[in-house]
Amino acid sequence: MSEPTSLSQPNATEVAAAYKHLHKVFAGKAPAMSREELLEARRVIATGRPGVLTEELRDNMLARIDAHIHSLDTGEPVVEPPKPKTKARDVIAGLAVIAVPLVIVTSCIAASDGDSGSGSDGRQDTMAAVMCEQFIEERLLSPSSAEFPWASDYAIAGTGNSYTVRGYVDAENAFGASLRRNWTCSLQHNPTEDSWTLIALTGIE
């Protein structure tokens, strides 16, 4: 499938936003996308700023998009590709979706930290929030039901490559009831490997 070449390269925010939105769509947490929307999302993932997604996760998402497009074209059931083995800390090396709804093709996605994915001081606060969400989803009984606040609503502290993020998540318990949990997540960023290590997580049982 060829990619358009006349459009500018999607920045880190657009790639991360598209990835998170597609993840919600494929999990049934957001409305299904049209063929045109899927093709645009595919362009963003395939041609976006390098280093935002690991190669394994980028290729897996592209395969998932192709599977859904094939289903729309043929009417056949979606055959999902095997899940990648990448750990949560390697999922996204870019930005979280900031406080604007994502409507692929027609929406403007603003970057709270600029195209580089980090602030002028080299801190990656929004990325720290994204990674905490990933670590929390791993520990929930119903991760597909998880609803987090916008990245701008988190309380984020720390110095250097250490981060402490405070926020909440609404998620279903074993009885199907949605409960809010306030959590604190401490993690360490390794800039050399561009990886994240969870140090402590409280509030999620």
**What pLDDT, in 10s, does the model give residues 110-138?**
333 333 344 546 788 878 888 898 899 88
Average pLDDT, the chain: 78
Q: What are the residues whose beta carbons fall under 8 Å from the beta carbon of 58, sequence distance 6 or more?
A: 45, 46
Identify the three-state secondary structure at position 145: helix
Enclosing domain of residue 109: 1-117
**Do residues 80 and 145 both lie within one domain?**
no
**Do residues 94 and 137 both lie within one domain?**
no
So what's the pLDDT on residue 63? 94
Residue ending a domain, among 99, 117, 135, is 117
> How confident is the model over 34-40, as a mean pLDDT?
95
Nearest CA-CA partner of 84 in 52, 49, 48, 59: 59
**Do residues 135 and 104 both lie within one domain?**
no
So what's the pLDDT on residue 166? 95
Residue ending a domain, among 73, 97, 117, is 117
- Give the E-state strand segments of the chain in sequence order: 155-157, 162-172, 178-190, 195-202
**Do residues 113 and 191 both lie within one domain?**
no
**Do residues 7 and 103 both lie within one domain?**
yes
So what's the pLDDT on residue 84? 62
**Do residues 17 and 111 both lie within one domain?**
yes
pLDDT digits (tens, 9 = 90+) for 74-88: 999 999 888 765 443
**Do residues 113 and 135 both lie within one domain?**
no
Residue ending a domain, among 61, 85, 117, is 117
Q: How many domains does the chain have?
A: 2
As a whole number of angstroms, the distance between CA 30 and CA 72 comes to 17
pLDDT digits (tens, 9 = 90+) for 2-29: 444 456 788 877 888 888 788 788 878 7
